[in-house]
Amino acid sequence: MDYRLLGRSGLKVSSLSIGTATFGGDGLWGNTDVTEARQQIDLCLDHGVNLVDTANVYSGSVSETIIGEALSDGRRDRVLLATKVRFPTDQGPNDRGLSRWHIVREAEKSLKRLKTDVIDLYQVHEWDGQTPLDETLEALDTLVRQGKVRYIGCSNYSAWHLMKALATSDAKGYQRFVSQQIHYTLQAREAEYELVPLGLDQGVSVLVWSPLGGGWLSGKYTRNSKPDDGRQVRGFKEPPIYDWDALWDIVDVINAVAKGRGVSGAQVALAWLLQRPLVASVIVGGRNLAQFEDNLKAADDHRGDERALQQPGER
């Protein structure tokens, strides 16, 4: 495992991090309980992972609670905790968004659920067009100054949203975003048009969510071998696939490279991401320990096969 600086900060994060959307969930996302969560966290820590990513809405906040329980045996100081705020947490008109009211209240709740006194990376989960940007950034800045949050980041922002936030922070003297959590895969490379160049220019690292495209890039499925279980066959449409022929062409190459190396397709897809400019950490998950173990092996192999994985017209 290697460690990379997060944005313009001095914080170093592991190149692979643990995603926890399955913790406490049900149905499509999985249903990892506290015992399984401890096992998964143990495995990741043994491999050098130091970043745990969650959100206040994952499994209705149960994910945060499980993480807090799993780390309550004294291991909290071994990891960096990242969580998010933005989406609805209840039925009230203020139980959503990025107002000062919602941000501060949800930060306090996350701290209690995670059983910690500080959130290492607090991320806004999505843009909020109804709340003045100054209000959002000032609230985040206040949390940092109070010692309740160490660093801030954004998730699912467009390039102009991110640049506007950075410019506002610079003008007002607020804390800057050090990271942007985005969807970025061999199949979904739209971020390379604006988000990645912006991040390189402004010093905002990339954290990658769903690096295997919901499992489609794991190499387990091909155009002639579709899944018979899991999220993919139960109507799950996130992240979306817009061109299935292109997807299967990419999977064919992934599997060819994987076969030549004697590794899994998932390891090839993850290793490719680990070579991309600006990527600080790739968030990996798994419905069981075997999937986690396989994904974690990608950290040992950054060679990739750039020539084989290039898309037509790419240099």
Q: Which residues are catalytic?
A: 58
Residue that is written with structure tokens 């291991």 in the block:
75
Q: Fill in the DSSP letter of residue 126.
A: S
Closest listed residue to residue 101, CA positions, set 68, 52, 66, 135: 135
**With contact defined as beta carbons under 8 Å apart, do 57 and 87 qualify?**
yes
What CA–CA distance (Å, rounded) separates 155 from 153?
7
- 137 phi-psi bin (left φ>0, alpha ψ -120 to 50, beta other): alpha
**H/E stretch holding 4:** strand 3-5
In whole angstroms, what is the distance from residue 284 CA to residue 247 CA?
Answer: 20
- Tell me if 58 sits within 8 A of 23, measured CB to CB: yes
147: Cβ contacts below 8 Å, ≥ 6 apart: 117, 118
Q: Which two tokens stand for residue 213?
A: 């495209």
How is residue 151 written in tokens?
């660093």
